[in-house]
Structure 1
């Protein structure tokens, strides 16, 4: 009996102690200047997974928090974040947020792999926020980058949009979504339509080599798209955009968040009619071929999160995408069909003192096919022929360890397996890459910070490689001075390793399994001036790339009789004697070329008062390449001068807010030559006017219609079909949009 009583007392004591070990935090977030509540603000306990969003009255509630001392952090768009020390249960906590005109207090992760405020990161990062994207009235990734980021440019071909960053092509640009690589390309054109812009929180852009942290392909730079995970109990959003030429975008999202579980669902539909710049070709003959193909695309993404404890968070996610072009039967034999699906799981465990372990495992799959419009060979109308299938598997284990206020370490292991199947190029191969990386953040003095990093890579065919990184930042009053050196590398692609492909019976392209990785050396110096209403920065850089992979073309007529016969015999065995009768050219991938890009960038943002703000940037890139004959020339598709300007005015009348935005892009000619003939695209300027009207007087509901004009001055490159077009805009267009959001 005594034992039972003692056991009961002990259990009761445990329950009491457990209840005493739990605290509750509640209060509200208000505007420091007006005293009005700030709804939708994020309130979270730093170094835990616990957080919530304020309701329509600015109120927040955090229950069942383990007793201890915490930093309570509140943040919201257009406000400077603030933190408050808390210890024990507290009620009626009032957190005051101050309006910010230029938000440099937002947290970024791309430059260092760890969380830093934008103004404090040792590696210069440019950020495009969701607010910037909405104000500009753009609905897709390409539009956002074109109008808001001068260092990026796009040109189009039959295989999609060709991206360039500071003079280097898209195969040297690494695109990430929440730190995970976006794969799937056609002729090195990443399918940008896969990016769902409806739930983008911000886009972080790192210029120059980032391979020490991110591995292969990060030679020109890294673009990391960070998505939003709302903290409301329920958030439902509908975003609709109509524009001339049948351009239509519909985004729908539904997010549910409880104390431990989260579900984030999004769907996006995008479509457009095709149009011609000119109905005549360069010979003056009528053509049915369109410069811009009609299409439709669908993207569905789902993510589930589970937080069993305040230190452990888990997630699983997946997505599906499909796109089909709509080309005229008179001009084409088939449409292009694309589809992809991706899966991912991950976990994060907080170790305390800003230290944690993070594991991500992802699988991305992408397929290209022809869908026939007419009968062709064995294919009938509407039959599909798979052209290319890609698989990408990645496992990344990363640990972040904060030893003290002055030292933080990042240590990671990564394994990648890439697979490619392309029947017409006789490829069905996979290659693995394994790597280990480490980085140390060091606060040397009060105003001096350094980052040193190194990655060791083993590629299955290209062998071993090291990529270092060193960055320094010194704060001198309102000025930040940054200097960086980083190494980059790009592993040979599976096409460059294994292709055996014949085009039109006249040219055969052959891969090379002895290829070395491409290597780069990037150095930059940045100076930045920051205050509450004005920021200005300038960056000078140089990027040198060695062992660039290109296909060396050799005429069979220039070969020895033995070499020529060996090539013909092998091709005859594979393709048949009839197929090789027109064979004239042999192309083999080799490490032949070198490139050097020198340039500088300037950026300016200013709040002028009375709701007016002004921003802009200018980029100069002198991009030169040395070919296999040792001749230096301007890199194809590079642009020397590019600038962007954004002006914005916002004003509120009680529950109604008006935002007027004008943005412009100006660029010089895009270099292109063919057989010694200058086929460069001319320079141009595009200007857009956008208005948004926000009605926010409802308890849980927001209505935001928009109206705008794209290409105000009606610029159109209407030269004959087949030229290197400056831009494929159809001219001036008008759009209307409607955003509906319900939050509870």
Structure 2
């Protein structure tokens, strides 16, 4: 009996030893792959890229500097594949040496990705443009920055069915699927916050928003009174501020022209931990080509996003616009002045001096099948 126990115990120990040795040998036959994912056109790191070994189905994500580590990779010839939104997929053949680190550099070429258009203005919640029951025109942020319009009309008029007139400076009136008018038919918003109270309509309200530096414009071409009140009987223009960037960035744009026209646009943004920050500044001035038509604008926007969790965040926006425009130089001229003094103005009556300030904080909570949002804001118009 004793000898049988000894034999069984010995066999069990031998089996465990063999299994351990096999596991050690298998572990010795594996290595790791470390590297960085960069853009092919500028050596910029590509964060959140999916990197894995072809055929295994599992992936890791590159960090904010584009770096990644694949551990426990079987030795021999392998192919490392990488995918990232906005880039063409790529793969690289590598040779993994047991117990060693194989270092690689993966470069991705940019690609155009057509994502479904998402809008917010029709119901105050994100939804696909293809599923919304109203007609909504969208002007993307890259279009706005490429246009860099001097007047809101140069940007907003890119939308079919929408026309904004130019009264000089930034004076204007809007027409959305109907004749142009100065009546209270449209609601003007910034991040969903009305720029003016109901009943205090201003047909020049677009110059109270920093349109050239907006992140996106959504224009409802039809009644929006159920969501935005009586001012939206003819349509809604909703300008969204730009999101903070995941990495530090800064932009400066300067231009000048005749009649001492000068404009400077500046922007800076970064993200640190749970907080994202962005600031935009617009300074514009011109003497005007007709008598009594100087114009100046100073606008600024500060935005702070704070992630409360994976599905909730706070967004705080402070914006300020000051416009000084003594006149627009409108009116007819006599034949003599038209021929000899075309810059003359008989009726510089379009005096405009505007101070518009807003401060808002929005709470957004997104669940599996529902969402919640609330906005507190303060507004000043003079």
Smaller-chain TM-score bracket: 0.5 to 0.7
Aligned mate of 2:157, from 146, 154, 157: 146
Pair 1:160 & 2:155 matched: no
When residues 131 and 348 of structure 1 are mapped into structure 2, their CA distance, relative to the original with a 3 A threshold, is closer
Q: Which has the higher helix share?
A: 2
Question: Are the counterparts in 2 of residues 172 and 220 from structure 1 also a CA contact under 8 Å?
Answer: yes
Aligned to 1:343: 359
Aligned to 1:488: none
Question: Are the counterparts in 2 of residues 104 and 118 from structure 1 also a CA contact under 8 Å?
Answer: no
Give the C-alpha shift of residue 215 in structure 1: 2.2
Inter-partner Cα distance in structure 2 for 1:363 and 1:343: 5
When residues 213 and 239 of structure 1 are mapped into structure 2, their CA distance, relative to the original with a 3 A threshold, is same
When residues 264 and 36 of structure 1 are mapped into structure 2, their CA distance, relative to the original with a 3 A threshold, is closer
Residues 550-569 of structure 1 aligned to structure 2 (within 5 Å): none
Question: Are the counterparts in 2 of residues 241 and 250 from structure 1 also a CA contact under 8 Å?
Answer: yes
Aligned to 1:364: 379
SS at match of 2:230: coil
Question: Are the counterparts in 1 of residues 262 and 285 from structure 2 also a CA contact under 8 Å?
Answer: yes
Q: Say which structure, 1 or 2, has more relative contact order (CA 8 Å, 6+ apart).
A: 1
Q: Which has the higher strand share?
A: 1
Normalising by structure 2, we get a TM-score of 0.62
Gaps of 5+ in 2: 1-33, 50-60, 70-82, 89-103, 330-344
Residues 9-88 of structure 1 aligned to structure 2 (within 5 Å): 75=85
Give the C-alpha shift of residue 274 in structure 1: 1.8
Aligned to 1:111: 122
SS at match of 2:355: strand
Give the C-alpha shift of residue 249 in structure 1: 1.9
Aligned to 1:266: 280
Aligned to 1:205: 219
Pair 1:239 & 2:239 matched: no
Inter-partner Cα distance in structure 1 for 2:238 and 2:144: 15
When residues 158 and 236 of structure 1 are mapped into structure 2, their CA distance, relative to the original with a 3 A threshold, is closer
Question: Are the counterparts in 2 of residues 29 and 97 from structure 1 also a CA contact under 8 Å?
Answer: no
Inter-partner Cα distance in structure 1 for 2:142 and 2:289: 31
When residues 217 and 296 of structure 1 are mapped into structure 2, their CA distance, relative to the original with a 3 A threshold, is same
Aligned residue-pair number:
290
Gaps of 5+ in 1: 1-25, 45-51, 62-72, 81-91, 277-287, 368-744
Question: Are the counterparts in 2 of residues 28 and 37 from structure 1 also a CA contact under 8 Å?
Answer: no
Pair 1:305 & 2:321 matched: no
Inter-partner Cα distance in structure 2 for 1:154 and 1:54: 48
Residue by residue over 1:367-403, the C-alpha shift from the partner in whole angstroms, topping out at 9 and shown as x without a partner, is 1xxxxxxxxxxxxxxxxxxxxxxxxxxxxxxxxxxxx
SS at match of 1:144: helix
When residues 326 and 217 of structure 1 are mapped into structure 2, their CA distance, relative to the original with a 3 A threshold, is closer
Aligned Cα root-mean-square deviation (Å): 4.2
When residues 339 and 190 of structure 1 are mapped into structure 2, their CA distance, relative to the original with a 3 A threshold, is same
Inter-partner Cα distance in structure 1 for 2:188 and 2:325: 23
Which has the larger Rg? 2
Pair 1:252 & 2:266 matched: yes
Inter-partner Cα distance in structure 2 for 1:249 and 1:332: 24
Residue by residue over 1:83-135, the C-alpha shift from the partner in whole angstroms, topping out at 9 and shown as x without a partner, is xxxxxxxxx9x99898338x452422223332233445443322211222333
Residue by residue over 1:307-361, the C-alpha shift from the partner in whole angstroms, topping out at 9 and shown as x without a partner, is 24333322333222212225599966995422122111222233x3153221101
Aligned mate of 1:179, from 173, 192, 217: 192
Normalising by structure 1, we get a TM-score of 0.34
Aligned to 1:324: 324
Inter-partner Cα distance in structure 2 for 1:164 and 1:42: 43
Aligned to 1:100: 112
Question: Are the counterparts in 1 of residues 188 and 205 from structure 2 also a CA contact under 8 Å?
Answer: no
SS at match of 2:288: coil
Give the C-alpha shift of residue 223 in structure 1: 1.7
Residue by residue over 1:529-585, the C-alpha shift from the partner in whole angstroms, topping out at 9 and shown as x without a partner, is xxxxxxxxxxxxxxxxxxxxxxxxxxxxxxxxxxxxxxxxxxxxxxxxxxxxxxxxx
Residue by residue over 1:418-455, the C-alpha shift from the partner in whole angstroms, topping out at 9 and shown as x without a partner, is xxxxxxxxxxxxxxxxxxxxxxxxxxxxxxxxxxxxxx
Give the C-alpha shift of residue 201 in structure 1: 2.2
